[in-house]
Amino acid sequence: MSSPLILTLLAGSATFIGAIFGVIGQKPSNRLLGFSLGFAAGIMLLISLMEMLPAALAAEGMSPLLGYGMFVVGLLGYFGLDRLLPHAHPQDLMTPAMPRPRNLRRTAILLTLGISLHNFPEGIATYVTASNNLELGMGVALAVALHNIPEGLAVAGPVYAATGSRSKAVLWAGLSGMAEILGGVLAWLILGSLVSPLVMGAIMAAVAGIMVALSVETSPLGVDVSDDLDYRYANDYGIYKAKGEKLIRGFGRNNWTIVRPAITYSKKRSQLMTLERQHILKYLDAGKPIPLYEGAKNVQGTMSWAGDVAEMLARLLFNPAAIKEDFNVTTSEHHTWDEIAGYYKDIFGLDHVYVSEDEYLTARDGVVNDWNKWQLRYDRMFDRIMDNSKVLKVTGMKQSDLISLYDGLSREKKTILERP
């Protein structure tokens, strides 16, 4: 058996390791999974962009159009396969357990088939790389093996839950890894007759694209490897903002500015802790004190008037000093929520009463759910004291130019109190 085929076999067999962890109930820690996935992603990026793609472009008879074209085909083709096939990503193993679907056996079958088809091009990538350069092939095999361990976990868990059989769980996970080996065997059979430098270079360019796509899928974010489940899944809104900023910074373009407003109030919108205008009007109309969470009483909050925020944004637009920079577009004025509640009493005549967390959230939405609970805990329970010195410097504004919270709420009182 050839060395490239042996490497492909070993990489695919790593799925069994994850499967064994899955059935014995000893899932590796999130930090260990995160390290192995990040390490694998780094290896794949290094090899694909620094070794494989340059080697493919230097192949005899290779044109830049064909080389880069095949790279894009591999890249987009893998992402297309990723979207079409039902499967778990490796970092999905770092999520809290989700509710089981009714037909868990069907889900397990679909998951196994999806990962199997998903693994097929990985086997081709490993074999082709090792055939062209054995040292590079060893690096790719290591990276793919690290990538496959969490996938073995992803398959074995649902299968074990559906069948109650450890042996079946390990077998099914192993079958998903065998698809990778089949990909290597297919590449071995085909490449036996297609050995021209141009063909090998074109395949290498496509494989480089596959490896880049695989590294993007594999690489976890810091938020994914935290062991604090409440933090990781507290507030999708905030998490996706952070992920969006990371994507923008990684594009390599020079046409972006990141702005981060704090709590912003305006005509027909005002907030008190996590309460919105409709909640404020509800208790004003009922003539009852509004319930506020006692635990947030002394937490600092920052609320900016929308007119000031709009002025800052307008001055940042087309401003050369704002390119590739991030700004806290907000006032630096801050108060405890107890002080802010006092402003609402003075300006709107709204009394308040402090209650427990569950009482507060039930009064807000009629029910306690993950969204309102975690919005309160992870958005309003931290002191929100904003540094706006950077945006003031770039826009030429001063803190004294910004309206105070008391004056801003007084200014918007009429529109805030308007009924629909």
What is the token pair recorded at 239? Answer: 């998490």
Residue among 239, 215, 250 at smallest CA distance from 91 = 215
CA-based torsion, 47, 49, 51, 55: positive or negative: positive
Q: Is the pLDDT of residue 279 over 80?
A: yes
Residue 174's pLDDT band (boundaries 50, 70, 90)? confident
Pairwise CA distance, residues 102 & 388, whole Å: 51
- What per-residue confidence (pLDDT) applies to 198? 81
Q: Is 304 helix (H, G, I), strand (E, B) or coil?
A: strand
Q: DSSP string covering 34-90, please?
A: HHHHHHHHHHHHHHIIIIIHHHHHTSTT--HHHHHHHHHHHHHHHHHHHHHS----G
Q: Is the pLDDT of residue 24 over 90?
A: no
Q: Is the pLDDT of residue 274 over 80?
A: yes
Weakest-pLDDT range from 10-14, 69-73, 297-301: 10-14
- What per-residue confidence (pLDDT) applies to 363? 84
Residue 142's pLDDT band (boundaries 50, 70, 90)? confident
**Are 345 and 286 spatial neighbours (Cβ–Cβ below 8 Å)?**
no
Residue 197's pLDDT band (boundaries 50, 70, 90)? confident
As a whole number, mean pLDDT of residues 26-49 equals 64
**Are 72 and 209 spatial neighbours (Cβ–Cβ below 8 Å)?**
yes
Give the residue extent of every domain in the chain: 3-233, 250-416
The percent of residues in the chain predicted with pLDDT above 90, rounded, is 29
Check residues 327 and 358 and name the one with the higher pLDDT: 327
- What per-residue confidence (pLDDT) applies to 92? 47
- What per-residue confidence (pLDDT) applies to 156? 74
Residue 131's pLDDT band (boundaries 50, 70, 90)? confident
Check residues 269 and 343 and name the one with the higher pLDDT: 343
Pairwise CA distance, residues 350 & 272, whole Å: 11
- What per-residue confidence (pLDDT) applies to 167? 81
Q: Is 303 helix (H, G, I), strand (E, B) or coil?
A: strand
Q: Is the pLDDT of residue 408 over 90?
A: yes
Q: DSSP string covering 248-298, please?
A: HHHT--S---EEEE-EEEBTTB--BTTB-HHHHHHHHHHT-PEEEEGGGTT
**Are 349 and 287 spatial neighbours (Cβ–Cβ below 8 Å)?**
no
Residue 158's pLDDT band (boundaries 50, 70, 90)? low
Q: Is the pLDDT of residue 298 over 80?
A: yes
Helices (H), 290-418: 306-316, 337-348, 357-365, 370-375, 389-395, 405-411, 413-416
250-416: what CATH class? alpha beta
Check residues 163 and 107 and name the one with the higher pLDDT: 163
The most confident of 109-118, 249-258, 259-268, 342-351, by mean pLDDT: 342-351
Residue 34's pLDDT band (boundaries 50, 70, 90)? low
Residue 290's pLDDT band (boundaries 50, 70, 90)? very high
Residue among 389, 373, 370, 390 at smallest CA distance from 381 = 373
The percent of residues in the chain predicted with pLDDT above 70, rounded, is 75
Check residues 412 and 81 and name the one with the higher pLDDT: 412
- What per-residue confidence (pLDDT) applies to 209? 85
As a whole number, mean pLDDT of residues 294-308 equals 94
Residue 98's pLDDT band (boundaries 50, 70, 90)? very low
Residue among 161, 123, 117 at smallest CA distance from 145 = 123
What is the tens place of the pLDDT at every residue in 227-253?
555 555 555 667 777 778 888 887 778
Q: Is the pLDDT of residue 145 over 60?
A: yes
Weakest-pLDDT range from 204-208, 261-265, 375-379, 394-398: 375-379
Residue 398's pLDDT band (boundaries 50, 70, 90)? very high
Q: What residues contact 1, with CB distance under 8 A and at least 6 apart?
A: 9
- What per-residue confidence (pLDDT) applies to 418? 83
As a whole number, mean pLDDT of residues 196-213 equals 79
- What per-residue confidence (pLDDT) applies to 99? 38
Q: Are strands 290-293 and 352-355 parallel, antiparallel or unpaired?
A: parallel
For 10, 12, 59, the CA distances from 120, given in Å and listed in that order, are 14, 10, 25
Residue among 418, 409, 391 at smallest CA distance from 341 = 409
